[in-house]
């Protein structure tokens, strides 16, 4: 996962993710630098998707 994809304006991106995927919470979408894989894992678990799909969801927002 490219850190730049996540880091750039994360508040806006996380808001869009919550609108599109109501099952995601603020806690699921907390981002800390260096914890990209943890974020992807939370999205995978909540949405029931694979790693590649979770990364695609993040990068498409």
- Output the domain CATH number for residue 34: 1.10.1470.10
Q: Is 1 helix (H, G, I), strand (E, B) or coil?
A: coil
pLDDT digits (tens, 9 = 90+) for 2-30: 566 666 688 888 999 999 999 999 988 88
Q: In this prediction, what percent of the chain has a pLDDT beyond 70?
A: 87
Structural domain that includes position 55: 3-60
* Global pTM value: 0.78
Angstrom distance (rounded) from CA 40 to CA 2: 11
Give the chain's domain count.
1
Give the pLDDT confidence score for residue 10 in this predicted structure: 84
**In the predicted model, is pLDDT for residue 50 greater than 90?**
yes
**Mean pLDDT within 18-45:** 89
């Amino acid at each position: 996962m490219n850190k730049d994809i996540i880091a750039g304006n994360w508040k806006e991106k996380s808001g869009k993710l919550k609108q599109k995927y109501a099952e995601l919470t603020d806690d699921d979408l907390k981002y800390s630098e260096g914890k990209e894989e943890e974020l992807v894992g939370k999205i995978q678990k909540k949405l029931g998707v694979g790693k590649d799909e979770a990364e695609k969801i993040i990068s498409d927002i």
